[in-house]
Amino acid sequence: MVYSFGLSLGVSMELIRGLYNVRPRHRGAVMTIGNFDGLHAGHRHLVALVRSRASSLHAPSLVMLFEPQPREFFQGPQAPARLMTLGQKLAALRTTGIDYVLVLRFDEMLSRLPAEGFVEDILVGALAVRGIIVGDDFRFGAGRHGDFAFLQAMGQRLGFAVEAASTFLLDGSRVSSTRLRAALADGALDEARRLLGRPYAHRGRVVHGDARGRQIGFPTANLTMPEPPPLRGVFAVTVPIDGQLRHGIANVGRRPTFGTGRTLLEVHLLDFAGDLYGRTLTVSFLKKLRDECVFASVDALIAQIRCDREAARNYFAAHEGTS
C-alpha cells in the first residue's frame, strides 16, 4: 500500500510499505539507507545531499528504513532506547522534502540476506537505483559483511553511483543518534536541542490512566512511551493545543511512589482545564527539573509537585519567547 502526503515530487512524500508496493515511478531514485532515529542534524544533512544529487539527475529521492530497527530485532529489550516512533519519524521526514520513504520489515528472512543479494535483489532488482549515498562506516547484509567498499564495487559492476556522505560535526564531534541518546539520558536538553536543531519531543495519543493526578489536584494527560524511554525524570515542557502553546511539567517514569510498572509520560499543563482524552499531543522537553524519586507519603509528593510547578513557571518566565 502506498500512502501519499501531498501531490507532487519535492513537495509530497509517499510512504511505500514493502517491496511488493514498489511501482515504476519509485524506480531509478537516488537514495540512502538507515535508521534515521531522531532525525538529527546529521540525518538532515544526508537527506539534503540525497535530494541535491537526485535533482541534478532529474530523479526522485528515496529513504529506506527498517522496522523494527535492526538492533531491536537482534537485541530485543537490550537494544538502545528508541528516540522516535515510526509515525514520528515519517512525519519528520516529510518536512525534509524527500519524495519517497520505503519501509522494509526487518525479519528473519531479511536478516539472513547476504550483502550481494541485498544489492542485486533489492537495490538493483526492485528499485533500479541510480545512486546511493551512505556514510563511509555503512554496513549491511547478513553478518554486516557488506561495507562501503563492497557497495562501491557492486555499483561499478551493476551501474549505479555510490557516494560517501561527509561526517557532520558539531563542536568537532560527530553528530549521531548515540550522542543524542547520551544527551537525553543525562538530561542535557540544550545539547539535545543543538544536535536536533529543535527541542526533543514525543508525540502520542492521550490514554486513560488511573486518575491519581486528578485525585491529588494535579490532573495529567498520559501518553505511552517507548520501553526503555530515552529520558527519565521531571521536565518543563510545552504542548501546542488548538493553536496555543501551553506550558507544563511532565514526568517520564514508572511512578515508583505508587508502584506502577509501565513507563508513562504524564503531562500536567499549567493554568489549563479541559478534556484531552483521545487527543494526539506533541510534548517538547525544554528543561530537566529533577530525577524521578520515591516519596514517603502522598503529601510529600504533592509538596514536591508544587515545587516542580513553581520551578517550571520560573523557567518559562526567564525564557519567555524562546521556547
- CATH at 162: 3.40.50.620
pTM of the predicted protein model: 0.90
Burial (CB count <10 Å: 0-12, 13-18, 19+), residue 76 = exposed
Predicted confidence at residue 226, as pLDDT, reads 87
Q: Given this model, what pLDDT does residue 1 score?
A: 40
Same domain, 120 and 210: no
Residues spanned by the domain of 162:
2-170
Between 216 and 174, the more confident residue is 174
Q: Is residue 180 part of a domain?
A: no
Q: What mean pLDDT is predicted for residues 18-40? A: 97
pLDDT at position 218: 86
Least confident of 9-18, 176-185, 275-284, 308-317: 9-18
18 & 148 share domain:
yes
pLDDT tens-digit map of 273-296: 888 999 999 999 999 999 988 888
| pLDDT on residue 195 | 97
- Percent pLDDT > 90 in the chain is 80
Residue 194 lies inside a defined structural domain of this protein: no
Q: Confidence class of residue 258 from pLDDT cuts 50, 70 and 90?
A: low
Looking at residue 2, what is its pLDDT? 41
- Could you tell me if residue 153 is inside a domain? yes
Q: Residue 69: its pLDDT value, please?
A: 97
Mean pLDDT of the region 128-156:
95
pLDDT of residue 213: 63
Over residues 6-10, the mean pLDDT reads 36
From the centroid of its chain, how far is CA 237? Answer: 18
pLDDT at 256: 61
Residue 184 in any domain: the answer is no
Is the residue at 178 inside a domain? no
| 175 in any annotated domain | no
Indicate if 166 and 215 belong to the same structural domain: no
**Residue 254: its pLDDT value, please?**
82
Above 60 in pLDDT, residue 25?
yes
Same domain for 234 and 290: yes
Average pLDDT over residues 10-29: 91
If asked whether residues 89 and 165 sit together in one domain, one would say yes
What pLDDT, on a 0 to 100 scale, did the predictor assign at position 257? 57
CA distance 323 to 315: 10
Does 149 lie in the same domain as 16?
A: yes
Q: With respect to residue 225, please indicate whether it lies within any of the assigned structural domains.
A: yes
Q: Are residues 124 and 233 in the same domain?
A: no
In this structure, the answer to whether residues 281 and 227 fall within a common structural domain is: yes
pLDDT at position 322 is 62
Q: Does residue 281 lie within any of the structural domains?
A: yes
CATH classification at residue 262: 2.40.30.30
**153-187 per-position pLDDT tens digit:** 999 999 999 999 988 999 999 999 999 999 999 99
Whether the predicted pLDDT of 112 surpasses 80: yes
Task: Say if residue 281 is in the same domain as residue 234.
Answer: yes
Is the per-residue pLDDT at 135 higher than 90?
A: no
Which one is predicted more confidently, 11 or 195? 195
The answer, yes or no, to whether residue 9 has pLDDT greater than 50, is no
pLDDT tens string 55-72: 999 999 999 999 999 999
Number of domains in the chain: 2
Judged against a pLDDT cut of 50, whether residue 6 lies above it is answered with: no
**Is residue 39 located within the same domain as residue 155?**
yes
pLDDT of residue 189: 98
Domain identity same for 146 and 7 = yes
| pLDDT score, position 10 | 41
Shared-domain flag, residues 61 and 205: no
